[in-house]
């Protein structure tokens, strides 16, 4: 949460900062601000609201200068307001700081600094940092970079920081622990971002800061990185930024979410590229080859994730238990971390994350590693924290996902989980060759079938009208489509603000059925073959109570279709792979309902794309 951008060099800083902030807005969008060194002074502009609003205001000012920092905020401490917006300034207005993360011990620090005469203007945890740094800088007679380093040895929490001072007009000080930060290295200039999107059009040479790093960038000097705790210098490790500028644009679609839904045939194909060869009966994931034996001998798999990635994890549970026959537990990363779980050295933990920066998932990985378990990552963002702290892993290759509601990341995660399960099952001998061949042949067809499913867009747009004035909705699914019901409900609530719940269909009679009346839309996933009759009975139970049925069925189904108020027919595949198709109409439904309700689809209220706080 929160996006950080910074620049120092010979170009005008403001256009680079504002463009970068627009790209990073998915990380938080309740307020934004910039500080630029202008004629030996700091000029700071900040506003409640979007980056566009900040830009509109700055356009009326004469903003100029070659070194600056910019921030887009997702509020943790203190409501969204211009006072709580970053940057925050030292008392004399000569030091400015931006921060992504949470300072956990900010209250005692604030108390101490207040007693020493510092006056706080905001309710944020960040403001303590600027006063603490200023205090050390003045009293310890050290340079600003050293003051930052010393200050951070007193700080508990997570941070990515960028700090500038009017007294060092070409310099930016950076520090990282727990939140992402990378430095783009140009010719006599530096570009800084929370991810590569503000950097990619200027340079592809980047240094990913690591936890515990403090860095000083100055176009006239060599990049300097030290360890915060032991003050030892490190050699910067230059890497190539793998990001495509076109992927960051909407490409003619009204919203990123719609673009990303329609990208799924390509995203799923890319997840399989080079990993699936049906003619040769090969499924191979290069990234985990070294750990395959460990996985085959695992006592159990523990999947840790949050939100949509957690739903993909439950689909993974069905895939792994059915195909590999090794027990699987799926845990909310946040719960796993704090419940003192039993973790054994022969457990294999699979961490799933689109962003690779989710703080809860990172904490769960650290815990699992500390207990000696093997940790495998499934991430979308290349070189993200999770992809770097896991022992091995597979990228989903879905491409950048900008819409806050996750769509293509989900289907790409499920694809990678299916490939992983298939490859392990074949080696473990738990799947006869004929069955293995049948499943991989179906998997290969999925991108085409997703394309076909996307043609239902207009029909789903019509169905969306039925939801516009509803206050609640229920999503039901069984087996591998139970997590799809959860995912469909999450999509609807997060972008249209209609309260929605997902349930295993059979659980309805244990409580939720009390909610059914003529006002209640019930979305039923009725594609599974094994429990089809049972689902039909569940639908009858809803109809008897006058609930409205919106069903997702396999093409050619007549029974459920005949019982439904609205029916969406998707192509046929084997049951275990249906989530790759059945999730698509639910994404489209949520999208169109949100658009009809006039909601901000790509930036729903109170949310951020990357949840880098616990």
The DSSP symbol for 27 reads G
3-state secondary structure of 391: coil
Q: Which of 292, 277, 262 is nearest to 587 (CA)?
A: 262
Among 17, 21, 306, 378, binds ligand M6R (CB under 6 A): 306
Is 548 part of the annotated catalytic residue set?
no
Is 599 part of the annotated catalytic residue set?
no
Neighbour-count burial for 344-367, b at 16+ CB within 10 Å, e otherwise: eeebbbbbbbbbbbbbbbbbbbeb
Does the protein bind ligand M6R through residue 6 (CB under 6 A)?
A: no
CB nearer to ligand M6R: pick between 109 and 181: 181
From the candidates 2, 306, 379, 567, which is the catalytic residue? Answer: 2
Does the protein bind ligand M6R through residue 84 (CB under 6 A)?
A: no
Distance CA 179, CA 192 (A): 13
CB nearer to ligand M6R: pick between 404 and 586: 404
CB nearer to ligand M6R: pick between 229 and 606: 606
Scanning residues 309 to 368, which ones bind ligand M6R (CB under 6 A)? 309, 353-355, 358, 361
Does the protein bind ligand M6R through residue 396 (CB under 6 A)?
A: no
Q: How far is the CB of 356 from ligand M6R (least distance, A)?
A: 7
Residue-wise DSSP of 359-371? HHHHHHHHHHHHT
Among 404, 520, 552, 594, binds ligand M6R (CB under 6 A): 404
Does the protein bind ligand M6R through residue 419 (CB under 6 A)?
A: no
Cβ neighbors of 138 (< 8 A, separation 6 or more) are none
With 0-12 / 13-18 / 19 or more C-beta atoms within 10 angstroms meaning exposed / middle / buried, residue 191 is: buried
Contact flags string 8-47 toward ligand M6R, x per CB under 6 A:
----------------------------------------
CB nearer to ligand M6R: pick between 27 and 88: 27
The H-assigned helical ranges of 176-235 are: none
Pairing between β-strand 213-217 and β-strand 168-177 as defined by DSSP bridges: antiparallel
Distance CA 498, CA 243 (A): 35
Distance CA 583, CA 572 (A): 14
> Position of tokens 């010979």?
10
Does the protein bind ligand M6R through residue 194 (CB under 6 A)?
A: no
Does the protein bind ligand M6R through residue 72 (CB under 6 A)?
A: no
Q: How far is the CB of 306 from ligand M6R (least distance, A)?
A: 4
Contact flags string 554-593 toward ligand M6R, x per CB under 6 A:
----------------------------------------
Among 189, 494, 528, 557, binds ligand M6R (CB under 6 A): 494
CB nearer to ligand M6R: pick between 355 and 374: 355
Tell me if 357 sits within 8 A of 308, measured CB to CB. Answer: no
Question: Segment contacting ligand M6R (CB under 6 A): 101-109, 111-119, 148-156, 398-406?
Answer: 398-406
Q: How far is the CB of 447 from ligand M6R (least distance, A)?
A: 22
Q: How far is the CB of 351 from ligand M6R (least distance, A)?
A: 9
Q: How far is the CB of 611 from ligand M6R (least distance, A)?
A: 5
Question: Segment contacting ligand M6R (CB under 6 A): 187-195, 265-273, 401-409, 497-505?
Answer: 401-409
Distance CA 609, CA 607 (A): 7
Cβ neighbors of 426 (< 8 A, separation 6 or more) are 283, 433, 436
State yes or no: cis peptide before 324, omega within 30 of 0: no
From the candidates 22, 176, 470, 609, which is the catalytic residue? Answer: 609
Cβ neighbors of 201 (< 8 A, separation 6 or more) are 245
Where in the sequence numbering do the catalytic residues fall? 2, 609
The residues that touch ligand M6R, with contacts defined as CB under 6 A, are 306-309, 353-355, 358, 361, 404-406, 490, 494, 610-611
């Amino acid at each position: 949460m929160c996006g950080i951008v910074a620049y120092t060099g010979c170009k005008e800083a403001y256009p680079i900062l504002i463009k970068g902030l627009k790209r990073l807005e998915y990380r938080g969008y309740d307020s934004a601000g910039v500080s630029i060194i202008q004629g030996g002074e700091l000029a700071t502009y900040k506003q409640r609201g979007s980056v566009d609003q900040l830009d509109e205001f700055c356009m009326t000012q004469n903003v100029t200068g070659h070194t600056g920092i910019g921030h887009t905020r997702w509020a943790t401490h203190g409501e969204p307001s211009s006072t709580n917006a970053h940057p925050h300034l030292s008392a004399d207005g000569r030091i400015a700081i931006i921060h992504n993360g949470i300072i956990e011990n900010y209250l005692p620090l604030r108390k101490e600094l207040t007693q020493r005469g510092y006056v706080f203007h905001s309710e944020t945890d960040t403001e303590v940092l600027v006063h603490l740094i200023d205090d050390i800088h003045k009293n310890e007679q050290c340079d600003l970079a050293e003051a930052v380093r010393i200050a951070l040895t007193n700080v508990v929490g997570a941070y990515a920081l960028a700090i500038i001072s009017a007294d060092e007009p070409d310099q930016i000080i950076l520090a990282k622990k727990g939140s992402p930060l990378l430095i783009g290295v140009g010719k006599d200039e530096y570009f800084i971002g929370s991810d590569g999107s503000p950097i990619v059009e200027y340079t592809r040479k980047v240094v990913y800061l690591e936890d515990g790093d403090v860095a000083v960038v100055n176009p006239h000097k060599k990049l300097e990185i030290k360890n915060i705790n032991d003050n030892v210098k490190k050699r910067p490790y230059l890497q190539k930024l793998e990001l495509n500028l076109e992927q960051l644009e909407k490409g003619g679609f009204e919203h990123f979410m719609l673009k990303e839904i329609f990208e799924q045939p390509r995203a799923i194909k890319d997840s399989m590229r080079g990993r699936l060869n049906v003619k040769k009966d090969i499924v191979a994931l290069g990234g985990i080859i070294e750990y395959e034996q460990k996985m085959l001998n695992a006592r159990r798999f523990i999947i840790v994730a949050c939100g949509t990635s957690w739903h993909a994890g439950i689909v993974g549970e069905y895939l792994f238990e059915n195909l590999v026959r090794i027990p699987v537990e799926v845990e909310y990363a946040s719960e796993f971390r704090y419940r003192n779980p039993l973790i054994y050295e022969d457990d294999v933990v699979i961490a799933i994350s689109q962003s690779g920066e989710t703080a809860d998932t990172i904490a769960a990985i650290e815990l699992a590693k500390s207990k000696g378990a093997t940790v495998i990552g499934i991430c979308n963002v290349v070189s993200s924290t999770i992809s770097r702290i896991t022992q091995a892993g597979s990228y989903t290759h879905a491409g950048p996902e900008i819409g806050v509601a996750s769509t293509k990341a989900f289907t790409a995660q499920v694809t990678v989980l299916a490939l992983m399960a298939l490859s392990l099952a074949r080696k473990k001998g738990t799947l006869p060759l004929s069955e293995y061949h049948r499943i991989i042949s179906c998997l290969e067809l999925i991108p085409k079938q997703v394309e076909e499913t996307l043609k239902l867009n207009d029909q789903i747009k019509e169905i969306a009208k039925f939801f516009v004035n509803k206050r609640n909705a229920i999503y039901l699914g069984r087996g591998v489509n139970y997590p799809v019901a959860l995912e469909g409900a999450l999509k609807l609530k997060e972008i249209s603000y209609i309260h929605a719940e997902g349930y295993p269909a059979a659980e309805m009679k244990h409580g939720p059925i009390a909610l059914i009346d003529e006002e209640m839309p019930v979305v039923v996933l009725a594609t599974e073959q094994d429990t089809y009759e049972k689902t039909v009975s569940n639908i009858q139970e809803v109809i008897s109570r006058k609930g409205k049925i919106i069903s997702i069925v396999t093409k050619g189904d007549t029974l459920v279709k005949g019982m439904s108020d609205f029916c969406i027919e998707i192509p046929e595949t084997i049951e275990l792979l249906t989530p790759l198709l059945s999730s698509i109409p639910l994404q489209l439904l949520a999208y169109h309902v949100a658009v009809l309700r006039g909601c901000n689809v790509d930036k729903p209220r109170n949310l951020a794309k990357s949840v880098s706080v616990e």
